[in-house]
Amino acid sequence: MKLYIAFKAETNFVDVIPQKMRLLLALNLRFFELHDPKGLARDVTNLGRWGNGDAEVELCDLDGLPYVMGLVRQAFEKQMGNGAAEE
């Protein structure tokens, strides 16, 4: 996989696409399932792109890492069956 780095449990829950000035993270869950109070994620449901999932968020600096990791955790928990009763 030269285009992205996949993190998986049963299947990919997040794909990290390295870019020159940022990391682009494709979260493998439906956009409407993502709880994103800051509104940093974007809906990429019908767009061609690298990675899996309908939500995408960028990480430009370390200050945003804790928040972005919370979004990644949602994708992981959804895959593991822990996020099914949340909304």
Report the alpha-carbon angle 34-51-58, nearest 5. Answer: 60
What pairs with residue 59 in β-bridges?
23
pLDDT digits (tens, 9 = 90+) for 22-73: 999 999 989 999 999 999 999 988 776 666 788 999 999 999 999 999 999 9
- Residue owning tokens 């994620």: 41
Going through 1-87 in order, the beta strands assigned E by DSSP cover 5-8, 12-18, 23-27, 42-43, 55-59
Contact 52, 31 (CB under 8 A): no
φ and ψ at 72, to 5 degrees? -60, -40
| Domain locations along the chain | 5-80
- Residue type (1 letter), 25: L
pLDDT tens figures, 75-87: 999 888 865 544 4
Is pTM beyond 0.75? Reply is yes
